[in-house]
């Protein structure tokens, strides 16, 4: 399992956040059908806790 997959599982984001690698960064996509609080929480965890260059988008 990848570091990114382990991260998503550890923080309980794997149900509504997907991951892909590209251009030396990790790209995380948050499911836009989640509530605003969950989207904000996911963005915070990824930006503050992931520890590597990453891009977070919502779809």
Span 30-47, pLDDT tens digits: 999 999 999 999 999 999
Structure confidence at residue 33 (pLDDT): 96
Contacts with 45 (C-beta within 8 Å, 6 or more apart), sequence order: 11, 13
The separation between the first and the last C-alpha atoms of the chain, rounded to the nearest angstrom, is 24
Secondary structure class of 24 (helix, strand, coil): coil
Q: Report residue 21 as tokens.
A: 């690698």
Residue 56, pLDDT above cutoff 90: yes
């Amino acid at each position: 399992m990848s570091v990114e997959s382990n991260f998503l599982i550890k923080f309980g984001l794997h149900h509504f956040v997907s991951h892909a690698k590209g251009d030396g960064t990790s790209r995380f996509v948050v499911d836009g059908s989640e509530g605003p609080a969950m989207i904000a929480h996911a963005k915070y965890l990824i930006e503050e806790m992931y520890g590597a260059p990453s891009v977070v988008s919502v779809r």
